Structure 1
Amino acid sequence: MAYWLMKSEPDELSITGLQTLGQARWDGVRNYQARNFLRAMAEGDEFFFYHSSCPEPGIAGIGKITKTAYPDPTALDKNSHYFDAKANDEKNPWSAIDVAFVETFPKVLSLGYLKQQAALEQLPLVQKGSRLSVMSVTPEQWAAVLALR
């Protein structure tokens, strides 16, 4: 099993929203490196659910991958914020995955708090200039974050 961290704005999809839904499509990723990480995910992989662009950015819980990468339908939807005019049915460069709820943390592990943890200094999330919405997490980093909850 591999581990990941994925960011979502809570007004788009939050950990409590995923809990209510049970599972959801993770779509709208428009960065090629992040998209490649989506394509590398396997069913059963787990991810930290990170709330971004909100008053308290941080890791809010855990989800798991339930369906591997497939063409992102939002790229073809003219009414979607994630519409890509260059995409079509034959050539859609963007991918989506399906995810399910696993756990909500008792408190959000804020970015500032995560940056203070020596065990996480190599985690791309805490490194200056890192803006990816999807990133890999090592087993050691996964265990270090779990110990903080």
Structure 2
Amino acid sequence: MYYLLKTEPSEYSYEDLLRDGITRWDGVKNPLAQKYISLMKVGDTCFIYHTGNIKAVVGLAKVISEPYKDDNNLWVVDLEPVSLFKNPVSLKALRAEPLFKDSPLLRMPRLSVVPLNKEQAERIIELSEAFN
């Protein structure tokens, strides 16, 4: 499976993930986002999306633990970085893609964990390689 995880880079950026090597993806309280975290499996690919002024997919991470509950009884997973995109994929670019028109990414913009299908995941990777 593929997921897009949103984070405010001033709180936790992809660069922080690279520095830390492994992190617990926590702080997600929305019930639907919690459901998606609870469905994650070891090896799932996560696209890290920076919110705020950036509004772009900036890199890839991999789920390295089964979902578990934290001290607040919220679902969390552990992640490790895979690769930082040389060319972030902007929200504007994703909005222009027909593959994303029905995605919760665009329909529910405040949702911090969004499932992606294989075609959407492949398209984000293609777009990250297309810009120079």
TM normalised by structure 2 equals: 0.91
Partner residue, 1:68: 66
How far apart, in 2, do the equivalents of 1:122 and 1:47 lie?
19
Q: Structure 1: 5+ residue runs without aligned partners?
A: 76-91
- Displacement after TM superposition at 1:126 (Å): 2.2
How far apart, in 2, do the equivalents of 1:66 and 1:145 lie?
22
Matches for 1:54-93 after TM superposition, within 5 Å: 54-73=52-71, 75=72, 92=73
The residue type paired with residue 88 of structure 2 is V
Partner residue, 1:95: 75
Q: Which has the higher helix share?
A: 2
The DSSP-based 3-state class of the residue aligned with 2:29 is: coil
Partner residue, 1:116: 96
Q: Which moved more, 1:106-115 or 1:40-49?
A: 106-115
The DSSP-based 3-state class of the residue aligned with 2:120 is: helix
Partner residue, 2:47: 48
Does the 8 A contact of 1:5 with 1:137 survive in 2?
Answer: yes
- CA RMSD between the two structures: 1.2
Percent pairwise identity:
33
Does the 8 A contact of 1:123 with 1:141 survive in 2?
Answer: no
TM normalised by structure 1 equals: 0.81
The residue type paired with residue 115 of structure 1 is R
- Displacement after TM superposition at 1:43 (Å): 0.4
The residue type paired with residue 65 of structure 1 is V
The runs of at least 4 aligned residues of structure 1 exceeding 3 Å deviation read none
Q: Structure 2: 5+ residue runs without aligned partners?
A: none
Partner residue, 1:27: 26
How far apart, in 1, do the equivalents of 2:57 and 2:18 lie?
15
The residue type paired with residue 19 of structure 2 is T
